[in-house]
Structure 1
Amino acid sequence: MTRTLEICVCTYRRPQVAETLASLMKLVQPDGYAVSVLVIDNDDEPSARDVVERIAQGAPFPLRYVHCPQGNISIARNGALTHSTAQLLAFIDDDEVAPSNWLVHLTQAMKTDQADVVLGPVEAVYPNGAPAWMQRTKIHATMPVWVDDQIITGYTCNVLIDMQSPALRDCRFDLSLGQTGGEDTAFFAKVVAAGGRIAFASDALLHETIPPNRVSFAWLLRRRYRMGQTHGRLVAEGGTSARLWAITMCKVAYCMGAALLQVADTGRRNKAILRGALHVGALSGLAGGVVLRQYGPDFTPK
């Protein structure tokens, strides 16, 4: 029996979406799956329409465009959930490219592991002149977070979701996180809380070219701090305690100590500092601090 699978690309004023779609047009369709592509344009103006319609003319499978404006990524992601009727929904970012066997690996892992959600890794492609420590540590790469051998949340930059799973019923992306980030972390945490199982397909690799404004330690610090804020906010929903605060502060102190001890090794030192920034962000989230904004029509990337 053939299952329907739609790939969703949420885009916002990013010309690289043409490269993303070009890579999707070369995908091998897994046996037993009918593949289609859905582009959700989150710009106030339908700026990606012409690109999508041009590529759709020669597409090997259905490619359609939906305009979901307002500069809020959660609106775009919810638009995918609303406008797609496929049994399986994959997400890929509009600055990533996929190898031809991407979907094959994701679908195989979902079947083998009987999972509700399957994540794949994202490998960073650095521009010329990027700091050696970033390239060596691959600090921009995306991988799942395991706790006690279980993946406890996920991300939308490389994922396959079984929309027929009971754990996905009524799940939506939080609009309040749509301009700060962390909406995908919160979404998949709810899926796990509802009994959903997340698996990992190590071979389902995507590549993301890192733009110059992100080849920056300051950008990484903001990113890790915001990620910590999201984690702290999710934890705070279940209640906080003096012990939790103490543990988190100890983690901050440990990371700063590790950075001092490894000050001569740029990569290890910076990774320790970034880990510390994550825990400082968690403290902010526990305290209900204002979450850093990273998205929207009047946001200027730093």
Structure 2
Amino acid sequence: MEPFGNPAVSIVVPTHTERRWASLSRTIRSAQHQTYPAGEVVVVVDHNPAMATRVRQEFPGVTVLENAYARGASGNRNTGAFHTRTPLIAFLDDDTVAAPTWLQGLIMPFRDPRVVGAGGGIIPNWEGRRPRWWPDELLWAVGVSYTGMPTSTAPIRNVWSASMIVRRDAFLAVGGFRTGFGKLGDRNRPEDTELCLRMSAVNGGHWMYVPDAVIDHEVPRSRSTFAFLMSRCYHEGRGKVQMAGLLPKEQKLGAEADYLKRTLPRAFVRGLAHALMGRGGFHALRAVTVIAAVLAAAWGGGVEALAGVLEPTAD
């Protein structure tokens, strides 16, 4: 790797539909206006040639590629990452806006050669009001930082691909994101968590979370409903069971266990206590929402586990 004083970085932005054109445009502009400038901004379009042509026409300073793999975000990101030649590769989603100092903040942990990757704080940009019944501990369901994460720069098991930076050599060593295991249609599998675990396992490296390296993440009204949250928790439960099946037996999902044993019970107790103290009925709704989220995730995990048992006898 180059001396830390000036490591070159590329930014990869996956996209797939022109319905997100306005937000993609904001993402690209934010990537181009970093205080620590990227050597290359790469936009990868997922099997949409017309959109790829439009990006080339309207953003001539950007490298535009088309997904070389099967449809899905994992192949999209890999296409861009494998194209780059810089020692560091950063990722942004097409519905985010990076603060000007985002990239500068994310490269700082790489002073430590043991760091294989880092991620930054993600702030929700709600379309309309945030639902008052939504607990802070469940904000991960809309892809943003949540209560329970570190509040200052610290080691972390995994980060999100919406705001991620990796060492190129470590990323290539594991073959990048696992294609076919990610977000596609109504399936929501944790391809970024799975990548983080594989990269850490290669040489004992670790990840860092930099909450001050922030991006805004759009949250549309369609994702501000109780039905969406329950669906998201259900699919997260299924995805975590699938991910566990890909991991070595000795590699446990300790972060998930701690979240269930500590973070969510505290959220429930706090919501209930605040409601009983007369601080607002929405606190009671937050407590109930925590229970409902756990049940939805358990249901999804149970469905996936049962599917795994039945699959060998499907013939």
TM-score scaled by length of structure 1? 0.76
Is 1:236–1:286's contact at 8 Å kept on the other side of the alignment?
A: no
Residues 285 and 143 from structure 1, CA distance in 2 versus in 1: closer, same or farther, beyond 3 angstroms? farther
**Structure 2 counterpart of 1:204:** 213
Q: Distance in 2 between matches of 1:67 and 1:151?
A: 32
Task: Summarize deviations over 1:27-59 as a string: whole Å, max 9, x none.
Answer: 1126xxx52100000033341432344233xx5
Alignment pair present for 1:186 and 2:194: yes
Q: Distance in 1 between matches of 2:105 and 2:91?
A: 14
CA shift at 1:82, angstroms? 2.0
Task: Summarize deviations over 1:221-262 as a string: whole Å, max 9, x none.
Answer: 12222222222222234459xxxxxx9xx97xx97xx59x94
The code of the aligned residue for 1:177 comes to F
Residues 209 and 234 from structure 1, CA distance in 2 versus in 1: closer, same or farther, beyond 3 angstroms? closer
The code of the aligned residue for 1:169 comes to A
**Structure 2 counterpart of 1:270:** 289
Is 2:157–2:197's contact at 8 Å kept on the other side of the alignment?
A: yes
User: Which of 204, 216, 231 pairs up with 2:225?
Assistant: 216
**Structure 2 counterpart of 1:51:** 55
Q: Distance in 2 between matches of 1:233 and 1:136?
A: 26
User: Which of 35, 38, 56 pairs up with 2:39?
Assistant: 35
Residues 143 and 115 from structure 1, CA distance in 2 versus in 1: closer, same or farther, beyond 3 angstroms? farther
CA shift at 1:88, angstroms? 0.6
**Structure 2 counterpart of 1:20:** 27
Task: Summarize deviations over 1:162-194 as a string: whole Å, max 9, x none.
Answer: 1123x7503332222242332222222211222
Residues 230 and 20 from structure 1, CA distance in 2 versus in 1: closer, same or farther, beyond 3 angstroms? same
Query: Which aligned pairs between 1:236-247 and structure 2 lie closer than 5 A?
Result: 236-237=245-246, 238=248
Task: Summarize deviations over 1:114-149 as a string: whole Å, max 9, x none.
Answer: 5110011211111224422338777235348879x9
Unaligned stretches of 5+ residues in structure 1:
241-246, 291-302
Query: Which aligned pairs between 1:274-285 and structure 2 lie closer than 5 A?
Result: 274-285=293-304
Alignment pair present for 1:109 and 2:117: no
The code of the aligned residue for 2:302 comes to L
| Fraction of identical pairs, as percent | 21
User: Which of 162, 169, 174 pairs up with 1:170?
Assistant: 174
**Structure 1 counterpart of 2:11:** 7
CA shift at 1:150, angstroms? 5.6
Q: Distance in 2 between matches of 1:135 and 1:122?
A: 16
What secondary structure sits across from 1:268 in the alignment?
Answer: helix
Is 2:91–2:161's contact at 8 Å kept on the other side of the alignment?
A: yes
Q: Which structure 1 residue ranges, 4+ long, deviate > 6 Å from structure 2?
A: 135-138, 144-147
CA shift at 1:75, angstroms? 1.6
What secondary structure sits across from 1:132 in the alignment?
Answer: coil
TM-score scaled by length of structure 2? 0.73
Residues 153 and 282 from structure 1, CA distance in 2 versus in 1: closer, same or farther, beyond 3 angstroms? farther
Greater displacement, 229-238 / 20-29: 229-238
Unaligned stretches of 5+ residues in structure 2:
251-256, 276-280, 310-315
Matched residues, number: 269
Residues 52 and 111 from structure 1, CA distance in 2 versus in 1: closer, same or farther, beyond 3 angstroms? farther
